[in-house]
């Protein structure tokens, strides 16, 4: 069911500082920051030849990563995002197998403009998994 790893998301306390560190110390290519108020995060993408890392800082009072940051004040790996061809089909098959989908189980439009779902970390070894339905071209419209 799952396809490529689309991104690995790391929560950070200060995305500008993290971006500078990844650029200067790791020599990484880092995108310009974007604030996504609807998603409660400010992000940059770090590109590697075979994938992307998303560094994200909480934004606003109702950030969905606020409680994660409270437990991990220096940041940490927050989720792994896999691409799927058909998100509703993926959800149905996962729910039939007993996996819990966060929220009401309906895909929402994610930070990259594509339909996404999150799976309960307790069902996957403590790892929050995001599924993102990616168009046939393999491009996430707002990924970079």
Distance CA 63, CA 91 (A): 25
* Binding residue for Co ion, selected from 39, 101, 130, 131, defined by CB under 5 A: 130
Return the structure tokens found at 16: 């500008």
Q: Residue 57 or residue 130: which is nearer to Co ion going by CB?
A: 130
The reply to whether 9 sits near Co ion by the rule CB under 5 A is: yes
Strand segments (E) across the chain:
5-11, 29-30, 34-36, 41-48, 51-58, 76-84, 108-109, 115-119, 128-133
Of the candidate spans 45-53, 57-65, 83-91, 129-137, the one that interacts with Co ion by CB under 5 A turns out to be: 129-137
Q: What is the DSSP letter of 45?
A: E
Catalytic residue among 57, 130, 132, 139: 130
The reply to whether 43 sits near Co ion by the rule CB under 5 A is: no
Contacts of 95 (CB under 8 A, 6+ apart): 101, 105
Binding to Co ion by CB under 5 A, coded x per residue (else -) over 68-107, reads -------------x--------------------------
SS3 state at 104: coil
Catalytic status, residue 132 = no
**Minimum separation from the CB atom of position 132 to Co ion (A):** 7
So which residues are the catalytic ones? 130
Which residues are at the interface with Co ion (CB under 5 A)?
9, 81, 130
């Amino acid at each position: 069911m799952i396809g490529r790893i689309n991104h690995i998301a790391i929560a950070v306390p200060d995305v500008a500082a993290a971006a500078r560190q990844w650029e200067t110390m790791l020599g990484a290519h880092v995108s310009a920051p974007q604030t996504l108020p609807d998603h409660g995060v400010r992000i940059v993408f770090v590109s590697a030849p075979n994938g992307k890392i998303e560094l994200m800082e909480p934004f606003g009072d109702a950030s969905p990563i606020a409680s994660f940051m409270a437990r991990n004040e220096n940041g940490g790996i927050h989720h792994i995002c896999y691409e799927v061809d058909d998100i509703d089909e993926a959800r149905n098959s996962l729910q039939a197998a007993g996996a819990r989908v966060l929220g009401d189980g309906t895909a929402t439009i994610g930070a990259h403009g594509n339909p996404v779902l999150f799976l309960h970390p307790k069902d996957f070894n403590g790892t929050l998994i995001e599924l993102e339905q990616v168009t046939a071209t393999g491009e996430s419209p707002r990924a970079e």
